[in-house]
Structures are given as structure tokens and as C-alpha cells.
Chain A
């Protein structure tokens, strides 16, 4: 019970901190919108396969940039203060939940802007949105752990990319496949296997993060 309370107050703290400055969220939203616009200027019109791939690539880079900062925006001494207050599991869980919230907002806006600028018919919008939901939560859980690792390694942003891209590729491959199925409006039973794989990857990464983060946090 106390873990839940700790997580709740830590998430609340992150949201309030962000709400006061609105710096990270605004910059990342601007990043998404300008990337979409650059792509629009470059491509003008795209075929469905490219549309889908482009959307996920935009979302991938936006999420790396958004989550990269999750462990370095606060000073070392303040992290020490959290260390005395909350358990490591609560810290990583709260960061994952917070990043999931950010990613959901981000992907919703990215999807809106993207589909308004690049018009493209979707065969099965519900399944597509479900994929976007699962994808953004998956990105959040993988990148939170990797950003914790790279933050301990002196927070080099090249290192973040090198460490996280090979790890995110399986998730990305499954996502692109399911969302392509959803675009083409295939029968949903075709995508069940992939949805289960997506859910399983999310569960596994969160479970491993919970197990491993205490070793990273205790420094």
C-alpha cells in the first residue's frame, strides 16, 4: 500500500513540476509538429506504407527526445533526497507512469497533426489507435530504463541512441506490422498474435525495469 502511495505522490510531483514550467512538454510538441511539417514539405503525398513507417519514425525520435531527460532534469542532491524518502521501485514506477502519460499526450497530438496534414484513409481506426496506445506505452517503458542507464553513464545523448535503438527495434517491427494491418482494414483476428507479443514485451520490460532499477539507483 505504501508503494502505491509513494508512486502516486512522485507522479503528482513530476506532473506539477512540468505544469509549472511547461518547458519540456512545449518543446517536444513543437518538435513533433515541426517534424511533421518538414516531412510534409519533403514528401507532399505518400503511399500508405510510407505513411505508416514515417509516423512511427517521427514518434520514435520524439519519444527518445522526450524521455532522454527524465533522470537528469533534477539535481544530484535532490535525487539523493528522493533516495532517502522513497524506494527505488516507486521511483522507477513513477517515472514510467509519468513518461507513459507524456507519451500518450504526445502521440495523440502527433497523430492528430499528422493525419490532418497528411490525409490517409484508415481501414480500422480503433485498432490503429489501440496500436498507437500500446506503442507509446512500450516506448515509455523501454526508454525510461535506458535513460536511467545512460544518465548514470554521464548522460551522453549519443549513448542513449546507441543503447536504445537496437532494443526498441523488435517493438517497432511489431508495431509497424500491426498498424499496417489496421490501415488496410484486415480482419482483427490477423493481428491478435502481434497484439499479444506487444503486450508481452511491455510487461517484460516493466518487470525487468522493476527488478534492475534498484541496482542502478543505489549509487
Chain B
């Protein structure tokens, strides 16, 4: 198989998740009703964002260890694409919340945590813009990225677990798995997540390659 097999796999998984997500069977539940299908689109956004931020922090560590400027480009493009997925996750979540909780922005720790984490990564981009010198920019922003990553995990995954949350699986609420008795939802959710992760990584590599060409162009022109 050629090296782009995973891109085809990503597209196929997405097609599968869209068709099965809209047509497939879902458990009949009060309040959420058919909006439970949003789980196939809302949850994978966060998985993809988390994967991209993780790639970013890995490449930041690699940059600090080796000093290869391409690693820095991967790190910044992962954050760029990750922020887009985070915005999609917030938007799909707000639509859903409007239906089920009656308010697009209920005061929920998970919502506030993800909004603050987004601010943190926007601050990373601001920090990059504040620095002119290329090597210094790469190094300092890599340091900030590694510093911010564990705090993002605390904000989005640890704090909501300890406090009352509207989200399933935290604050004493029943987890998602309890409604899915025959596993038919898992059969869509997991491929959908993998598909979105692959698409997100593909977007990141595309942006990285454009950045790399620009970088090489500048290097030869200078």
C-alpha cells in the first residue's frame, strides 16, 4: 500500500460515521432524543484537538532537544489546526446544549475549562507574534507550550471530574457507556473519532508542508 493509505482510511471512516450517524439505530432517551447523534460529531472534535495538542507538545520537546526548525513548524501548525477543532467542538456543543440544557452556555466546568484552554493556546500564538527572532521564537514558544500542556489537561479533564458537571461521566452523572447497551453507538463513535483524528492530522501535515515551502523559499531568497 502506498504511503497515503491513512488519508483514504480517514475519508472512508468519516463517510461511514456520517451515514451511520444519521441513519443508524440509537437508544431512545428522554430529553436528548435524536440529538444524541451529535455525540458522533461533538466528541471526536475533542479527541482530535487533544491529539493535535499532544503532537504539538511532542514536537516542542523534540525541538528543545534537537533544535531542528521543522519541528517547530509542526508544533505551531498542530496548535493552529487544534484550535480550529476546539472551536468546532465548542460550536457543536453549544448547539447541543441549547437543545438539551436550554442554554447555549450553561455554567459548566467543562465548558469554562475548554474556553480557558483555548485562551491559553491563543496566548501561545500571541507569544509567537511578539518575538521577531526566529530561533528565539521557536525556543521560547516551545517552552511555553510544554508548560501549558499539563495545565490544559488539568483544566479540561481533571477539574470537571471533581466538580458538578452537566456532562455525562462527571460529577456523579452516569457515563455515556451506560446508555449504549448493545454497543451499536460505540461501533460508530470510535471509527468516527479515528476518522476525524486522521483528517485533522492530514490538515496539519498540509499546512506544515506549505509552511516548510515558504520557509525554504525565504531561506534561498535571503
Contact = CB atoms under 8 A, between A and B. Distances in A.
Interface of A: 145-146, 149, 152-154, 156, 159, 162-163, 165-167, 169-170, 173-174, 177, 193-194, 197, 201, 204-205, 208-209, 212, 215-216, 219
Nearest to A218: B139
Given A152-B136, A166-B117, A166-B119, A173 B159 contact: yes
B120 interface: yes
Please provide the 6 A-B residue pairs with the shortest distance between their CB atoms, ordered closest to farther.
A166-B120, A166-B119, A212-B143, A162-B123, A170-B155, A170-B154
A189 to B, nearest CB: 14
Contacts of A204: 150
Given A153-B130, A194-B162, A216 B143 contact: yes
A162 B154 contact: no
Given A162-B126, A166-B119, A169-B155, 20 more contacts: A149-B144, A153-B140, A159-B126, A163-B127, A163-B144, A165-B119, A166-B116, A166-B117, A166-B120, A166-B123, A166-B148, A167-B120, A170-B113, A204-B150, A205-B147, A208-B147, A212-B143, A215-B139, A215-B142, A216-B139
Interface in B131-169: 131, 136, 139-140, 142-144, 146-148, 150-151, 154-155, 158-159, 162-163
Chain A, interface SS category: helix
B131 A153 contact: yes
B26 interface: no
Nearest to A163: B123
A204 to B, nearest CB: 6
B84 interface: no
Contacts of A194: 162
B64 interface: yes
B127 A167 contact: no
Interface of B: 64, 113, 116-117, 119-120, 123, 126-127, 130-131, 136, 139-140, 142-144, 146-148, 150-151, 154-155, 158-159, 162-163
A60 to B, nearest CB: 14
Nearest to A193: B162
B130 A154 contact: yes
A152 B144 CA distance: 12
Contacts of B64: 212, 215
Contacts of A174: 159
A162 B131 CA distance: 14
Nearest to B132: A154
19 contacts: A146-B147, A152-B140, A153-B131, A154-B131, A159-B126, A159-B127, A162-B123, A162-B127, A166-B123, A167-B148, A169-B116, A169-B155, A170-B116, A170-B155, A177-B163, A201-B154, A204-B150, A212-B64, A216-B140
A24 B131 CA distance: 28
Interface centre among B139, B144, B147, B158 (most CB of A within 10 A): B147
Given A149-B140, A152-B140, A167 B147 contact: yes
Contacts of B127: 149, 153, 159, 162-163
A165 B116 CA distance: 9
Contacts of B130: 153-154, 156, 159
Contact of A212 (B113, B117, B147, B162): B147
Contacts of B144: 149, 163
Contacts of B136: 152, 219
Nearest to A214: B64
Contacts of B126: 159, 162
Contacts of B123: 162-163, 166
A73 to B, nearest CB: 20
A146 B124 CA distance: 12
Contacts of A149: 127, 140, 143-144, 147
B143 A215 contact: yes
A205 B159 CA distance: 16
A170 B144 CA distance: 17
